[in-house]
Amino acid sequence: MSKQKRIAILTSGGDAPGMNAAIRAVTLKALSFDHHVFGYYGGYNGLIGEHFTELGAAHVADIIHRGGTILKSARCKDMHTNAGILQAVNSLRKNHIDALIVIGGDGSFKGAQELAQHWSGQIIGIPGTIDNDINGTDATIGFYTAIDTALDCIDKIRDTAQAFERTFVVEVMGRDCGIIAMESGLASGAEQIICKELIDDESSFVQDLKEKVADSLKNDAAHSYVIVMAEHSLSISAQELAQQLSNFTGIDSRSAILGYVQRGGAPVAGDRILATQLGVASIAHLEAGDNGVMVGIEDNKVTLTPLKETSDTHQRNRSFVARLKEYRL
């Protein structure tokens, strides 16, 4: 039998639906090996401030279907300082932690790599962010729910766009990655999708877009026109783009920013299953002695990616978007 380990777990960065399912899977799987699991509150802030509780089966009962994270989350400024990193390391040592499981995104994995410079315990990452922008996994926990939430909102916007014969620019999240825009745009039958990965030259892209909208309004019987736009994909806001479209076409355009609604809600089945698979895999790989890696799922198989490679996303995101671009009608 393997040595009983003291495993710390935290959720960090933008919360994502399914994080609770991952906490549950990690905890139950670890308990099955008689390990101890300590849930740290508020991401790395909890580690630095030694704010934690030992998790038993009762703590994780009845959470698989809940959005948010029972451990809370944060973007921890102190982890950008040497003093903060050393405090976190001291906290791990003082509490005799053998292994740390970090559920989060790119920034959270950078924090984990900083800790690894000073601490020899095992570290495993689990990709949790609605953005689906992590190298080494086909999907991140939270993504499936976020696109369904965005889709539900876009469908509703379509109803009012249709009734008023308006053009709408709907901004979705995704920070530096257009996958939420691409998938929710495809699924909603949006007339246009805007994301960085599709733009070479912004001014010609916007000019072309205006002409396409104007042409469609002239030609089509049904005059609703929905444009799904990833946040930060243009130098102008969704509101400004809608204004420019109104000016160019002479037809009312409106904008809607979906915002944080995309981070909330009960996780859909896809996220619960992904979170469960990755949670179980993280403990299996701790048992196998792996360290400094993220567990992901690619082509239906569990894969390991060194944490330092998880932020190499440029090529990955572009090829995801390029693959989906083929299906635009």
Q: Which of the residues are catalytic?
A: 131
Residues 260-289 touching ligand F6P, rule: CB under 6 A, are 263
3-class DSSP state of 323: helix
The kind and range of the H/E element at 294 are strand 293-298
CB of 38 or CB of 41, closer to ligand F6P = 41
Provide the token pair at 318.
């572009």
Is residue 129 close enough to count as binding ligand F6P by CB under 6 A? yes
Smallest separation (angstroms) from ligand F6P to the CB of 94: 29
Structure tokens at 158: 């379509």
Question: By CB under 6 A, is residue 173 in contact with ligand F6P?
Answer: yes
Token representation of residue 44: 């790395």
Which listed range, 47-55, 63-71, 169-177, 291-299, lies at the site for ligand F6P (CB under 6 A)? 169-177
Query: How many H-runs (helices) and E-runs (strands) does the chain carry?
Result: 11, 11
Under rule CB under 6 A, residue 175 binds ligand F6P? yes
**Alpha-carbon distance values, 272 to 95, 99, 250 (Å):** 31, 24, 46
The residues in 56-85 that bind ligand F6P, with binding defined as CB under 6 A, are: 75
Q: Which of 22, 116, 131, 150 touches ligand F6P by CB under 6 A?
A: 131
Task: Report the amino acid identity of residue 196.
Answer: K
Helix H segments across the chain? 19-32, 44-48, 57-60, 82-94, 106-116, 143-164, 179-188, 202-219, 238-249, 269-287, 314-325
Q: How far apart are CA 276 and CA 302, in angstroms?
A: 12
Residue at shortest CB range from ligand F6P: 14
Taking residues 2 to 31 in sequence order and writing x for each that binds ligand F6P by CB under 6 A, - otherwise, the string is -----------xx-----------------
Is 318 a binding residue for ligand F6P by CB under 6 A? The answer is no
If one asks whether residue 183 binds ligand F6P (CB under 6 A), the answer comes out as no
Question: Which residues are near ligand F6P by CB under 6 A?
Answer: 13-14, 75, 105, 129-131, 173-175, 231, 263
